[in-house]
Amino acid sequence: MLTYRKDIDGLRAIAILAVICFHYGWFPGGYLGVDVFIVISGYLITGIIYIATEANSFSLIKFYQRRIARIIPLLLFISLTALVIGTVVMLPDDLENLSESVFATNLFSNNILQLITTRNYWDVVNDFKPLLHTWSLGLEEQYYLFFPFLFLLVGGKKINWIGPLLIILSIISLVLFLSGHFSHEARYYLLPFRFFEFSAGGMGAIFFRNRLVKNNLTPLLIIGLIVLMQLPLKFLPFSIGIPFAAMLSFGIIISAGAAGGLTAMILENKVMVFIGRISYSLFMWHQVILVFTRYFIVQHFSYACAALMLLTTFLLSLFTYYFIEQPFRMRMKANPNRVLLILASAFIFITGAAFYVYMHAGVLRNVPELDINEADAGFNLHGKYNARVFQFNKPFTDTGKIKVLVIGNSFARDWVNVLLESPFSSKISLSYTENATTGKDMESRMKLADYIFYSDIAKESLFHQLARYSGLDTSKIYCVGLKNFGVSNGVFYNHKHDPGYCMQRAVVEKVYLDRNNLLKKQWSGRYINLLESVIDGNGTVPVFTTDCKFISQDCRHFTKAGAQYFAELVSSVPVIHNLALRTEK
């Protein structure tokens, strides 16, 4: 049996505190706490299996029973809690995303879901995903499913092969992780690229289990790890930070238990050990509390609010540690069949409920602010409104109308919808393409167009691209500006009983303001400044139209009501005013 080490719980405490601080915006590199957990997992799991295999007593069934008892009860409880709260407070798109996460989390695959959907872990939309953090549990559970079979393959007298095999697999995994042939997202989320971290812990368990390294450097390793977690991603990209975190964690694990002195003071004091023991509950609760606070209470919280959230997280973690984690672990030993039946029933119920919510596209009630009715709800309603613009990806067809060409991504399609919702929409001939350099008949379309609108593009970069079209009149080219309506509609939606509900305003994100000012300077009189038409002196913009409809469903793209709202607002912009006058002739 693997000997219990207080210092491992102390290291867990550092990891969970770093992760929590990262999600609160305090430790830029705190996400590396997950990597510390991964190395610890590799150490503990490898040690348990290796010792049992060496003694010829390893049972795959008992191994999975212990893993189930350790992880699944709390995971299901948190999934159910998030889903219940989400059905009460979330807008349909957000609830649909949550139901996907519940489903994927319960099936140990939220890392794969994140890779397919959001992809970028640091995207601001992840700040409103209550189960975002369970991607790492998916990674860990996939490791549990795969790793024991290595021992079954080379067990018995060949147990000594495990160490060299881990070294080989670690090298392969690390090379894959560092390779530029794979996307950043795949390397961040998937097990083959992260296996070297698990195996780093595993090699510590095999090669140093009976001979921990005695040195005076362990406190420096701990301090180095903490400093690493303070560094911003731009300074230390994750492709460098993660291997460093794994290396430092490995060094701490193989030496801390024998170090004593300052190391013991840091890792083995009662507070750190206790935090480490309840670290799983802290990990599972902190993101749920943080996200739902942002979603329906306040998006930008004070230190007092943060302290209250942390206290709530701690109290709920104590509850689930003593009343869910510990009881299930003890009952699994006494009556595994009964525990498995209870967990299987809970799994079916919660996963089934999530699937039901997903199949209803998250629409469990009418949302008039988004023109969504429960009776006729469907998937991606707002996305379809934006995507309808693709039908205009063709040459101009009506030579008797004013020809308008729009070029760009989904934000350009928003502009097409504004034009389609304008009073003169029937008087113009629209053509749309995502990319002027690859679209069909682009030279002909650009030269025939009376007006050309690009979305969010630097003037110098664009004119460099257009150099291929000789004789093109660039004076008819305009840039359509940025728009932003905060980061989530959830907090506004959940204030619907306030007297000023329809008058709520969102703070424009700084990155949008900075980019908007830059483009305005570059394009001067040929810049259609959408933000300028709605922003006030405090840097806020309206969330709702005058008839209380959400301007944007995701704070970035227009709803139909939003497009209609802006079609009216921009009617006084000179180029649009001139365009309208030309259609009246």
- Say what the pLDDT of residue 585 is: 64
Q: What are the pLDDT digits (tens) for 317-338?
A: 999 999 999 999 999 988 999 9
Domain-terminating residue out of 359, 392, 424? 359
353/452 same-domain check: no
Query: By CB neighbour count within 10 A (0-12 exposed, 13-18 middle, 19+ buried), where does 35 fall?
Result: buried
Query: By CB neighbour count within 10 A (0-12 exposed, 13-18 middle, 19+ buried), where does 486 fall?
Result: buried
Rg (C-alpha) for the chain, rounded Å, is 28
352/404 same-domain check: no
* Within-domain flag for 466: yes
In Å, what is the CA distance from 527 to each residue of 15, 455, 524, 562? 48, 10, 6, 20
* Within-domain flag for 164: yes
* Within-domain flag for 340: yes
Nearest Cα neighbor of 172 from 194, 188, 151, 153 is 194
Q: In the block, which residue shows the tokens 């050309």?
A: 452
Residues 6+ apart with CB under 8 A from 190: 111, 112, 115, 139
CB 99 within 8 A of CB 125: no
Cβ neighbour number for residue 315 with a 10 Å cutoff: 10
Report yes or no on whether pTM surpasses 0.85: yes
- Say what the pLDDT of residue 155 is: 67
Q: What are the pLDDT digits (tens) for 465-499?
A: 887 777 888 889 999 999 999 999 999 999 988 99
391/353 same-domain check: no
- Say what the pLDDT of residue 354 is: 97
Domain-terminating residue out of 301, 326, 359? 359
Contacts 24+ apart (CB under 8 A), 298-304: 298/491, 299/486, 299/487, 299/488, 299/491, 300/507
455: β partners: 480
Q: What CATH number corresponds to the domain at position 399?
A: 3.40.50
CA–CA separation, 354 and 82 (whole Å): 11
CA–CA separation, 69 and 357 (whole Å): 27
* Within-domain flag for 463: yes
Q: Which amino acid is at 77?
A: F
* Within-domain flag for 262: yes
CA–CA separation, 570 and 439 (whole Å): 28
Residues 6+ apart with CB under 8 A from 319: none
* Within-domain flag for 371: no
Contacts 24+ apart (CB under 8 A), 270-276: 271/13, 272/9, 272/10, 272/13, 272/14, 273/6, 273/9, 273/10, 273/13, 274/9, 275/9, 275/12, 275/13, 275/16, 275/17, 276/8, 276/9, 276/10, 276/11, 276/12, 276/13, 276/16
Q: What are the pLDDT digits (tens) for 140-195?
A: 999 999 999 988 887 666 788 889 999 999 999 999 999 888 999 999 999 999 99
- Say what the pLDDT of residue 156 is: 67
- Say what the pLDDT of residue 210 is: 78
CA–CA separation, 173 and 233 (whole Å): 22
CA–CA separation, 407 and 389 (whole Å): 11
488/448 same-domain check: yes
The sheet with strand 451-455 has its strands ordered as 428-433, 402-407, 451-455, 477-480, 527-528
Q: What are the pLDDT digits (tens) for 260-270?
A: 789 999 999 99
73/221 same-domain check: yes
Domain-terminating residue out of 328, 359, 390? 359
* Within-domain flag for 452: yes
207/346 same-domain check: yes
DSSP state of 213: P
Domain count, the chain: 2
CA–CA separation, 118 and 295 (whole Å): 18
Q: What are the pLDDT digits (tens) for 376-420?
A: 778 888 888 899 999 999 888 777 889 999 999 999 999 999 999
Mean per-residue pLDDT of the chain: 92
Nearest Cα neighbor of 248 from 48, 32, 44 is 32
287/402 same-domain check: no
Q: In the block, which residue shows the tokens 């794979």?
A: 182
CB 392 within 8 A of CB 441: no
CA–CA separation, 303 and 188 (whole Å): 31
What percent of the chain is helix, strand and coil (3-state, nearest 5)? 65, 5, 25
Band of the pLDDT at 205, cuts 50, 70, 90?
very high
Query: By CB neighbour count within 10 A (0-12 exposed, 13-18 middle, 19+ buried), where does 167 fall?
Result: middle
321/400 same-domain check: no
Contacts 24+ apart (CB under 8 A), 581-585: 582/402, 582/450, 583/401, 583/402, 583/424, 583/427, 583/428, 584/424, 584/427
CA–CA separation, 216 and 197 (whole Å): 24
Residues 6+ apart with CB under 8 A from 382: 93, 370, 553, 554, 557, 559
Residues 6+ apart with CB under 8 A from 38: 136, 139, 140, 194, 197, 198, 201, 246
Q: Examine the pLDDT at 93 and tell me if it is beyond 80.
A: yes
Query: By CB neighbour count within 10 A (0-12 exposed, 13-18 middle, 19+ buried), where does 445 fall?
Result: buried
Q: Examine the pLDDT at 121 and tell me if it is beyond 90.
A: no
Mean pLDDT of the region 526-543: 94
341/385 same-domain check: no
Band of the pLDDT at 299, cuts 50, 70, 90?
confident
87/190 same-domain check: yes
Q: Examine the pLDDT at 440 and tell me if it is beyond 70.
A: no
Q: Which amino acid is at 277?
A: R
Q: Examine the pLDDT at 563 and tell me if it is beyond 70.
A: yes
The percent of residues above 70 in pLDDT, for the chain, comes to 98
CB 451 within 8 A of CB 404: yes
206/319 same-domain check: yes
* Within-domain flag for 369: no
Band of the pLDDT at 522, cuts 50, 70, 90?
very high
Domain span at residue 432 reads 381-584
Torsions phi, psi for 572 (to 5 deg): -95, -5
183/310 same-domain check: yes
505: β partners: 542
